[in-house]
Structure 1
């Protein structure tokens, strides 16, 4: 899930919440390389959080309010882009 979070200079920046299946740790380098092959540099998430689950609304759509609150209350697991 991708959301905009507050940034001092730009107002907002791109951030992502991911959830992984299984016990293997997330390879942030591989994730970044994969996303970079599909997106322009300015669309790359600058912070990534790994959440146990991504909360969804009753209709099944991503809960963006939850994601912004999650980002505000947790330290990113990865910074970069």
Structure 2
């Protein structure tokens, strides 16, 4: 395998996400949202999904697919 600059970019991005996760834990920057599950035939709410979001240092929300895999791998 040969070096490619993409490896550095990926490693840098991962370290940034790890750092943001640690910051979010220390500063209670996770939010929990509930999304209703609706039966399309009846239109009735049949349950809910709990969705976690992490607030970025700049105030924007980071979607779970961007931080959960890193959080799971780093513990």
State if a TM-score over 0.5 links the two structures. no
Structure with a larger share of its residues in helix: 2
Higher RCO (Cα < 8 Å, 6 or more apart): 1
User: What TM-score, normalized by structure 1, do the two folds share?
Assistant: 0.27
User: What TM-score, normalized by structure 2, do the two folds share?
Assistant: 0.29
